[in-house]
Amino acid sequence: MKKEFKPLTKSEEEIMQALWQLDKAFVKDVVDILPEPKPHYNTVSTIIKILEEKGFAGHESLGKANRYFPLVQKDEYSKKSMNQFVGKYFEGSFANMLSFFAKEKDISVKDL
């Protein structure tokens, strides 16, 4: 049975973006590269634990600290997110999506 794709919340996605950028990181490393206003260390730690529960991140224990890493590749997540977006708003048709943006932004066929 195929597992249903569930998109991440905005906060979860922001943390995953940091993990994808860093590849392997401690919570402090993630906090350090997040934009201002920076979330509290405990908030980031909790979100990373949620990402682990959802199967998006894993960790390795190094002494008393955990170093986290992505289990889902960025391009895989992007592809699934885009497919879900197109399915939800454009009846699953990339042609409909391109047509919509071409009309909305007055884009020529050449620009597409």
Amino acid letter, 76: E
Residue 111 forms part of a structural domain: no
Domain shared by 34 and 60, yes or no: yes
Domain that holds residue 79: 74-105
Tens digits of residue pLDDT in 54-97:
999 999 999 999 999 999 999 999 898 888 888 888 888 878 88
Domain count, the chain: 2
Residue 5 forms part of a structural domain: no
Tens digits of residue pLDDT in 102-112:
777 776 666 65
pTM for the model: 0.78
Q: Token match 């993630």: residue?
A: 30
Q: Is the pLDDT assigned to residue 10 strictly greater than 80?
A: yes
CB 58 within 8 A of CB 69: yes
Domain shared by 96 and 58, yes or no: no
